[in-house]
Copies of this chain bind each other. A is one copy, B any other.
């Protein structure tokens, strides 16, 4: 065996088979009350015609910056643009099985992004073949991206429970109903409107009132709703737990 010291001192890069590090991004947004993921279409082998998560090589930059850059490139939204400022980005997991890419060894650091509804990438960007796909239609992705997406979805579902990240899916000002729709879309099950409302307002720092209301009621009736913005809490306490499902526990 070698300790960290000796293997670093004796390392000669040319002795090792070449290896690359990429970032892949599971970018999630909500469109039409459905949770959607950003996918790109592959043109060439391997996996030609299949869809994949957006990603690319890591350059002379931090991993976080590489993920930000890839997301900006694929969505066609320039960094610095207001829309991207509000995107939450966090590292998800790293995938490095030797056979995950048939051509060479590629270690991919996956990121998870939560975004409010963003413009369609195809409109006015150089990301010709990127688009938002409802997550339940995102199957048979290239490489091991089915696994990456599944891990990203589970992380997103769990994070809604104990962090205020649901606010990353809505506009800066939002109604409690819109927030509830985020939970329903991500968790895939409806929540009781009354209880949800009371619960959200009772968690310290989750949301704070703007003092204003929407200019009109719901599309099919209902009163004007009060508007809120994200509060200063980093963790929800007490948490907002998913309806218990026995099969998640064992």
Residues of A within 8 A of B (CB): 1-9, 11, 13-14, 16-21, 24, 40-44, 48, 52-58, 60-63, 73-74, 91, 93-98, 101, 103-104, 107, 109, 126-130, 142, 204-205, 232-235, 237, 244, 248-250
Contact = CB atoms under 8 A, between A and B. Distances in A.
Main secondary structure of the interface of A (DSSP, over half): loop
Given A7-B56, A8-B101, A13-B18, A96 B1 contact: no
A237 to B, nearest CB: 5
A130 B53 CA distance: 41
Contacts of A101: 8
Copies in the complex: 2
Contacts of A17: 60
A129 B126 CA distance: 54
Nearest to A158: B162
Given A7-B56, A232-B250, A98 B61 contact: yes
B57 A11 contact: yes
A2 B98 contact: no
A146 to B, nearest CB: 15
Contacts of A232: 250
Contact of A205 (B18, B40, B250): B250
